[in-house]
Amino acid sequence: MKMPLKGVEPKPGDLIEISRFGYRHWALYVGYGYVIHLAPPSEFTKTGFFSLMSVVADKAVVRKEPLWAVVKGDDYRVNNKHDGKLPRRSVDQIIQEAESLVGKTMPYSVTSENCEHFVTKLRYGVARSDQVRDAMVAGAVGIMGVGALVAVATFIGALLSDNKQEDE
């Protein structure tokens, strides 16, 4: 089965970034075509309603599955994005810890304990999620933009009101 891989072939310990509609799912490549990932309800199926379920889920299961089954035809790539910034644990440590978690139910939060936090903790010993940070920055910029529009509209409204009163 041909999958849309972007870039290099994965090696054990590599982080796999999977492009889903509206978000990125993350998995850890463990070799022989398998990945380990934190699977909230949205990852058990690929329908719009269940994708929204990960926002409210508070538990997820650590699963070991074939890469092709997790990718589900979506684009994916190796993305060890913190290499060079964070020290990487040994491949043996990464795989051993990941394998020890398979089948366990873990706490899940889209903002603080998601699949990206899970795999970065395994690879680097530090849980990070850039998509959460990026979403928070985008949200803050959006709020500031709306605030600026309201301020401009209020200012223009006040000017027009003053001009109308002067004309009367």
Tell me the pLDDT tens digit for each residue of 83-140: 999 999 999 999 999 999 999 999 999 888 999 999 999 999 999 998 654 444 344 3
Cα–Cα nearest to 40, from 113, 134, 128, 101? 113
The pLDDT score that the predictor gives to residue 137 is 39
Active-site hit among 57, 115, 119, 122: 115
Q: In CATH, which of 3.90.1720.10, 1.10.443.10, 3.10.310.70, 2.40.50.140 is domain 5-128?
A: 3.90.1720.10
Tell me the pLDDT tens digit for each residue of 55-64: 567 899 999 9
Cβ-based burial of 65 (10 A; exposed 0-12, middle 13-18, buried ≥19): middle
Is 25 among the residues known to form the active site? yes
User: Is the pTM of the predicted complex or chain greater than 0.75?
Assistant: no
Active-site hit among 10, 30, 37, 62: 37
What are the residue boundaries of the structural domains of the chain, listed by start? 5-128, 129-168
Higher-confidence position of 7 and 65: 65
